[in-house]
């Protein structure tokens, strides 16, 4: 199922290779953190799908609002993700959770569970590099956002050691 959803995401973004690569990198880090955290099968599925689709609303946000703002991504992403995932045999609670995380993935005060936390940490591991963030910014993100020992280890190894 994950490879099929990955293919759906690639088809959706078409020639936007930057966005496709971003989603794939977030997926890889999220999967690694989930595996090292011993996430159960249900949470691993939620984390994997959410990582692949977390920015799925960006195309529509840019079309409607000429902006890739996190606010607009959160608004536009869940309906697109839900429609994309309807053809898969997902439990309704899993689908709702995926859409909740996609709809709030830039609202860090709404992080309410490990699945959401892992997605945010994986997204930051990629965004720090893609946005060429300063060491001071990385240290601030570490203190304010990161909570899992696996995510902290990756952040330290990649950016702070």
Q: What is the pLDDT of residue 68?
A: 87
Confidence category of residue 150, pLDDT binned at 50, 70, 90: very high
Q: What is the pLDDT of residue 69?
A: 86
| Structure-token pair, residue 6 | 């990955």
When the pLDDT of each residue in the chain is averaged and rounded to a whole number, the result is: 96
Quote the strand ranges of the chain, DSSP E.
Answer: none
Cα gap 81→102, rounded to integer Å: 8
Q: What is the pLDDT of residue 94?
A: 97
> Domain limits at 144?
2-160
* pLDDT single digits (tens) 16-71: 999 999 999 999 999 999 999 999 999 999 999 999 999 999 999 999 999 888 89
Q: What is the pLDDT of residue 70?
A: 86
How far does Cα 29 stand from its chain's mean position?
10
Cα angle 115-160-45, degrees, rounded to a multiple of 5 = 15
Higher pLDDT, 103 or 68: 103
Residues 6+ apart with CB under 8 A from 118: 30, 33, 34, 37, 39, 47, 148, 151
Burial environment of residue 50 by CB neighbours within 10 A (0 to 12, 13 to 18, 19 or more):
buried
Total number of domains in the chain? 1
Domain containing 90 — which CATH number?
1.10.3210.10
Number of Cβ within a 10 Å radius of residue 39: 20
| Half-sphere exposure at residue 53, Cβ-oriented, CA atoms within 13 angstroms | 34
Cα gap 110→89, rounded to integer Å: 27
């Amino acid at each position: 199922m994950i490879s099929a959803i990955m293919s759906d995401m690639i088809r959706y973004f078409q020639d936007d290779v930057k966005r496709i690569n971003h989603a794939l990198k977030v997926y890889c880090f999220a999967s690694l953190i989930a595996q090292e955290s011993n996430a159960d099968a249900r949470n691993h599925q939620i984390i994997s799908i959410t990582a692949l689709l977390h920015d799925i609303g960006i195309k529509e946000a840019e079309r409607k609002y000429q902006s890739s703002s996190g606010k607009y991504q959160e608004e536009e992403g869940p309906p697109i993700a839900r429609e994309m995932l309807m053809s898969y045999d997902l439990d309704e609670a899993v689908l709702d959770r995926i859409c909740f995380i996609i709809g709030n993935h830039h609202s860090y005060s709404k992080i309410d569970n490990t699945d959401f936390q892992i997605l945010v940490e994986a997204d930051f591991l990629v965004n720090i590099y893609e946005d060429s963030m300063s060491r001071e910014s990385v240290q601030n993100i570490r203190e304010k956002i990161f909570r899992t020992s696996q995510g902290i280890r990756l952040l330290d190894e990649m950016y702070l050691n």
